[in-house]
Structure 1
Amino acid sequence: MWNDYPKRGQYRETPIPNELASSVRTLSYERDPDEPIVDVEPNSIYRWVKRAGERRYAATGDEGWTLLDVHDLRRTWGGHLLWNCGALPAVVMSWGGWEDWETFRSHYLGMMSPAAAEREREKISFVPGTVESDPGADQVFEPTVQSRSLY
């Protein structure tokens, strides 16, 4: 996809769920490949996200939904790939268009889980000892408190 807003002129190719891919194929059937599939002003997308947050707030009473914005969608998508799918951070950065490692590290990766640190330690023959860890944890990264995610 060509991202016209807010990072004008950048091309991004990202993985999407099969169900979404099927919907995109259906919507784009017999269309010019250069035509956008969803042709709306960016402000419309901002309004859609704001309304979705308002509906979730009404349904749950969780005030956090009143703070939902489009940035949270990208952040949640990236966090899902990192925490739930185990994708490598460099790959997620490439797919999502993140360029600043320090910002990405600080806001998306959070703290390294003890279980992940132990797994990595075991791969290195010259590192002695073990680190106490939660045997049930299998995530590589644990979200930090400052990270807001819908997952």
Structure 2
Amino acid sequence: MSAIEDVNRATTLFRKFAFRVSIQTRRIAAESAPITPETPSVATFIFHGHAEKHEMRTERNRDGSWNVWMSREEYESLPRAAESFQHEIAIRLMGDCGLRVGEVLDVEPRHISRMTDGRHYELEVVGGKDTTGEFVDGKQRETWLPVDVEATINRYVQTEEIARNEVLVDVTKRTVQNWVEKAAVGVAEESGDSDYERVSTHDLRRCWANHLLVEEHVSPRTVMALGGWSSYDAIEPYLAAPTEENIIDSMSGVAL
């Protein structure tokens, strides 16, 4: 076994151990909390940390698949449950950068660049989905690359000795989908929340868009540019109905 394989195996085991320790720590805290009529389930405590019970919004499609809207906290359990750096990177490119699963397969180190402020990064998305027919090789765009995601990618590139023009995720779409499904099943088993079993790769992009638009109040035009949507109609299905908390935050300062 090579040194790189040893590192990958050790990393995988550590990630699984750290994830279980995190779950168990929260579970102990939940079980030791005072019991009242309003006390939520242990699973609710573990993943939400407050006494308000929260459930993912899920919607069944005609073909039997599901649309799932996760909160940011719910989503963050998925990359933590990934089995390797490569799996984590694939998940985070969708859930933290808004890429489609097919776009993940085209990402190379040379597509990452530092922005003009010298502190942040952007990712060039090549061969993006084109619904207009105007582009021969797909639509190109730049999207926001969080600093910690860039650091994870850089660490993976250095460890695996990946060239600047070599793809980070050299597998099929189906393989990436399997990675997400496996991570989601793992979180479902650890947390007791079966809604995770309905999560697909597309729900990661949905979570990213909904978080920016509804929770962070980022301009729709900015989100459309980052995510590669050409119209408001195209982005609307990604949005969940605003919660009471969202409504209060948005309207409490309005002069009415």
Superposition TM-score, scaled by structure 1 size:
0.64
Q: Distance in 2 between matches of 1:12 and 1:109?
A: 25
Compared with structure 1, are the counterparts of its residues 66 and 10 closer, same or farther at alpha carbon in structure 2 (3 Å cutoff)? same
Q: CA deviation at 1:21?
A: 0.7
Select the residue among 140, 144, 152 that pairs with 1:11: 140
Match of 1:65 in 2: 196
What RMSD over aligned residues (CA atoms) do the two structures have, in Å? 2.8
The Cα of 1:35 is off from its aligned counterpart by: 2.1
Q: Does 1:2 align with 2:125?
A: yes
Identity of aligned residues (%): 25
Distance in 1 of aligned mates of 2:139 and 2:155: 25
Equivalent in the alignment of 1:113? 247
Q: Distance in 1 between matches of 2:144 and 2:153?
A: 13
1:86 aligns to 2:209 (yes or no): no
1:4-43 to 2 correspondences below 5 Å: 4=127, 9-29=138-158, 31-43=162-174
Q: Per the alignment, in what secondary structure is the counterpart of residue 110 of structure 1?
A: coil
For 2:176, the equivalent position in structure 1 comes to 45
Q: Which has the higher strand share?
A: 2
Shift of 1:72: 0.7
8 Å Cα contact 1:5-1:42 kept in structure 2: no
- Cα deviation for residue 71 of structure 1 reads 0.5
CA distance in 2, matches of 1:44, 1:25: 22
Aligned residues: 122
Q: 1:96 maps to what in 2?
A: 227
TM-superposed CA distance for 1:116, in Å, is 2.4
Query: Would you say the 8 A contact 1:2–1:9 is kept in 2?
Result: no
Runs of 5+ consecutive residues of structure 2 not aligned to the other structure: 1-123, 131-136
Task: Identify unmatched segments of 5+ residues in structure 1.
Answer: 123-129, 131-151
